Amino acid sequence: MRLGRTASSSHLTLLGPAGSLEMGKAVLNAGADAVFVGPKGFSRRGFEYELTNEEIRNLCEFASSRGKQVRLAVNSYPDDRCDEVLWNMVEECVAFGVKALIVNDPGFCRELRRRFPDLDIHASVGASIFNVSDAMFWEDCGATGLVLLCNLTPEQVKSIADATDCDLEILVHANRDFTFLGKCWISSYCAVKEVATDPHIKIHGSPNRGGVCHRVCRRPWTCNLEESLAVDLPNECCLLVRELEHYVDAGVKTLKVQGREYSIDLTGRMIGMYAGILKWLQGHDCDSVLSQAETTAAQLEIIRDRERSQRTSLLVSAALTSGVAS
């Protein structure tokens, strides 16, 4: 059955990355309904892919003028030493017009709900919501939305949709890692260093603590058993196309494209492709769009892998030469 003609796809949201003010504006212009940004010091990315409060204000004004939204990713574990700065930043950004916060820490989620009873709060993909119990836990913490792993099947997503009142979001572009996002600590073991940039504190090597993952899993690995065993840890590109209709039918309301560290050209092209698929899902375009999207996705995957490999090389090199790697 063609899902583009069902009620389940009538209110879909396309969410894109804003690793810079320029990227945010380009992604909105390319067809995204909303963008997510990281405030300086408090997201799972380095400072270079986070925005200042002034840039967030600028982007909120730009989005609002086009009937679109900005979401704030505060998806690292906040440190008590930054408590006053953190809450001042959140209050400012909500005043600017930020419509939702994306969080990774259940305690922070509860306190957000207490201080901002009407704010939309989304549990980050880094929370690794894998089953109904996880979903109900986050709903009890005050979350109104859940960002789900692309590892989940449509059947698993439907079980979560049936059990909670939260809006569901799926990563349509991400990486299928050898472990669940937010659960891996390999980078922390290999390259960890506390960096204090007043008033923020990041733990380099640990994205959960506001630093960056050095992607050491992408280096050649061997297991030292009786005989050395070479290991290639899976890290596959995920660009969902035909599968999307099944996720939408299962209850997904938001399609999220990752990529704050990619080029503006690549993120814009990804958003443009998914905007076309969204029109198809909503019954506003012909079926040939899906075949065209598959061809485009194959082309974008090559470009994306090249950009990600370049970034990975820089991160691994930094881990090896900074004096913090073992």
Summarize pLDDT for 55-69 with one digit per residue, the tens: 999 999 999 999 999
For residue 162 the two structure tokens come to: 């049936």
Model pLDDT, residue 230: 64
pLDDT score at 174: 74
Look at residue 172 and tell me if it is in a domain.
Answer: yes
pLDDT, position 47 = 78
The torsion region of residue 68 among left (phi > 0), alpha (psi -120 to 50) and beta comes to beta
Beta strand spans in 183-318 (E) = 193-197, 200-204, 221-223, 229-231, 235-239, 252-257
Residue 102 vs residue 307, higher pLDDT? 102
Query: What is the pLDDT at residue 2?
Result: 36
User: Does residue 185 sit within a domain?
Assistant: no
Q: In the chain, where do the E strands start and end? A: 13-17, 34-37, 69-74, 100-103, 120-123, 145-148, 167-177, 193-197, 200-204, 221-223, 229-231, 235-239, 252-257
Distance of CA 9 to CAs 88, 94, 197, 277, Å?
37, 29, 44, 11
CA distance 119 to 113: 7
* Structure-block tokens of residue 323: 């004096």
Give the separation between CA 111 and CA 271, rounded to whole angstroms. 33
Predicted local confidence at residue 167, as pLDDT: 97
Rounded to the nearest 10 degrees, what angle do helices 53-64 and 21-29 cross at?
A: 10
Q: Which tokens is 104 given? A: 């990774």
- Check residue 225 and give its pLDDT: 63
pLDDT of residue 207: 64
Identify the domain containing residue 43 by its residue range. 3-178+234-286
The reported pTM is: 0.82
Residue 51 counted as domain residue: yes
Tens digits of residue pLDDT in 38-55: 998 888 777 788 999 999
Question: In the structure, what pLDDT confidence band is assigned to residue 87 with cuts at 50, 70 and 90?
Answer: very high
Is the per-residue pLDDT at 12 higher than 80?
yes
Contact 138, 106 (CB under 8 A): yes
- Mean pLDDT score across all residues of the chain: 84
Burial group, residue 110, by CB count within 10 angstroms (0-12, 13-18, 19+):
middle
Q: Residue 45 maps to which CATH number?
A: 3.20.20.60
Beta carbons of 35 and 276 less than 8 angstroms apart: no
Residue 254 lies in a domain: yes
pLDDT for the residue numbered 323: 46
Burial 235-253 (b: 16+ CB within 10 A, else e): eeebbbbeebbbbbbbbbb
* Structural domains in the chain (count): 1
Residues 86-97 have a mean pLDDT of 95
Is position 83 within any domain?
A: yes
Could you report the per-residue pLDDT of 224-282, keeping only the tens digit for each? 666 666 666 666 677 889 889 999 999 999 999 999 989 999 999 999 999 999 988 88
Q: Given this model, what pLDDT does residue 273 score?
A: 94
Looking at the chain, the whole-number percentage of residues with pLDDT higher than 70 is 74
Q: Which two tokens stand for residue 188?
A: 């922390």
- 191 pLDDT exceeds 50? yes
Token look-up 């201080």 returns 115
Instruction: Specify the range with the lowest mean pLDDT, choosing from 27-36, 70-79, 289-298, 308-317.
Output: 308-317
- Residue 313 maps to a domain: no
Give CA–CA dist 121/99, Å, rounded. Answer: 9
Burial 182-220 (b: 16+ CB within 10 A, else e): bebebbbebbbeeeeeeebbbbbbbbbbbbbbbbbbbee
Is 206 domain-assigned?
Answer: no
Residue 80 pLDDT class (50, 70, 90 cuts):
confident
In a domain, 100, yes or no: yes
Q: Half-sphere exposure (CA, 13 Å, Cβ side) for 311?
A: 19
* Tens-digit pLDDT profile for residues 123-178: 999 898 989 999 999 999 999 999 998 788 999 999 999 999 999 999 998 776 66
pLDDT of residue 103: 96
Burial class (CB in 10 A: 0-12, 13-18, 19+), 285: middle
